Amino acid sequence: RINEMIDTEHTSIMANICSMILLLLLITHFIACAWFAIGNSHTEQRTWLLHFDLEGELWYYQYFTALHWSITQFTPASMEITPRNLPERVFTIAVVVFALVGFSYVVGSITGSLTQLRSLHEDQTKQFWDLRRYLKQNKVPLALSTRIHNYLEHAWTTQQLKLPVKNVKILNLLSEQLTCELQCELYVPYTSVHPFLEYMNDMYRVTMNRIANLCIARKALARGDTLFHPSEE
């Protein structure tokens, strides 16, 4: 559901990293609660709370101590708290075995997301570096180079924010009718400006679907470009 609200790949990757970190914190929270419950159990055996003189401490200090212990089971870090009886020892072993798999999965997911995020920036940097190198090698005038660079920066940013239809390859599987309806919906905000086309859109929907699919196309223009030339058909 969260991914349906995200419209950029960069934001999706960051959301995945944050979700993995929150998942790790949630898991360590429940493990910390279980570790505290075992230490707070009233048995004849000496627990970690009694051994380390923490039974009289405030509840939040006890909780964060248990959370610290829980986090160290997932990382190479260590702390002074250790199991003091058989139930605590068994629970610790179970947590460590679980951490071998769980922590590896979380770290692998975060690493993969960071690699994907880095590749996005590397691709952009490389393409614009090649552009500057090409313009310089061919001795393109500075004014034109600046216009080209500014336009491509704007086009690149727009492409990241709004996915081009050519990149959604699965849309090629749509039927002809669904394709026409989709194209019509995309162009309704532009065609409705004209009263005649607005009337056609309200009264003759099928015809407008075909017009949108066969007669309307997008054309990218930079500032100062000419759309129509005199005497041009």
pLDDT in tens, 108-148: 888 888 888 777 778 778 888 899 899 988 888 888 898 88
Q: Residue ranges of the alpha helices (H) in the chain? A: 9-39, 48-51, 59-72, 86-137, 142-161, 176-191, 195-203, 205-214
Work out the angle between the directed axes of helices 86-137 and 9-39 (0-180°, nearest 10): 170
Residue 126: Cβ within 10 Å count? 10
3-state secondary structure at position 165: helix
The pLDDT of residue 90 is 93
Per-residue model confidence (pLDDT) at position 1: 54
**What mean pLDDT do residues 191-216 have?**
80
Q: What are phi and psi of 217, to 5 degrees?
A: -145, 160
Entry pTM: 0.56
In whole angstroms, give the CA distance from residue 104 to residue 75. Answer: 10
Which residues lie below 8 Å from residue 222, measured CB to CB, with a gap of 6+? 147, 151
pLDDT tier for residue 61 given thresholds of 50, 70 and 90: very high
pLDDT digits (tens, 9 = 90+) for 16-41: 888 888 988 999 999 999 999 998 88
Looking at residue 33, its pLDDT comes to: 94
